[in-house]
Amino acid sequence: MIASKLTGSRKSLPKGARMVLDSLAEAKEMLSAKELAFRLKLKNPVSAPGLTTVYRSLELLSRLGIIQEVRLNSEEKRYELLNPGEHNHHLVCKTCGQSTKIKSCLLGASNESPSFEKELLSEYGFKVSSHVLEVFGTCKLCRERTENKEQTENYDAITLQGANDESCISR
């Protein structure tokens, strides 16, 4: 797969790019360039590529469509490995920063409706070459924590109010 995407005299990935790709393949989550460089340095302190090489490697891998770069809020770009011919969309919690990969492209065609891209072309004459979709909100766990905290605070306020109520004080 990788060899077919490389052009010109280059028939394989540079060593640094291969190390970055392997590290992303091992990762369970999206990583920033700095996190990748740190992991590579921990794994192999002597021959790990420097941060500049990591950035160049990420740019090459992204251009080849092997990885995807994602911006979550105003943070540094994060990167993840892609399955061939695919891209990912994410749900991002603004409270805890957790991101969840959406199982399928929300802009693609389904049995019920034409693709969003086709609609943009027919309605606006706009031809989509690529897209990125990150949906921001609050995850279930953070919502539950907030609701539990509010319930506890309401209970405490009612308890305090009842304790200060003069009708409750016996004489």
Domains annotated on the chain, with CATH: 1-84 (1.10.10.10)
- The answer to whether the beta carbons of residues 143 and 101 sit under 8 Å apart is no
Cite the beta strand spans of the chain per DSSP E.
Answer: 67-70, 78-81, 90-93, 99-101, 134-137
Distance of alpha carbon 9 from alpha carbon 98, whole angstroms: 41
Q: What is the per-residue pLDDT for 90?
A: 77
For residue 87, the number of C-alpha atoms closer than 13 Å in the C-beta half-sphere is 18
**Tell me: the pLDDT tens digits for 35-89?**
999 999 999 999 999 999 999 999 999 998 899 888 876 678 889 888 777 777 7
User: Hey, what are 137's tokens?
Assistant: 């909100």
Closest CA to 13 of 72, 59, 79: 59
Tell if the pTM clears 0.85, that is, is over it: no
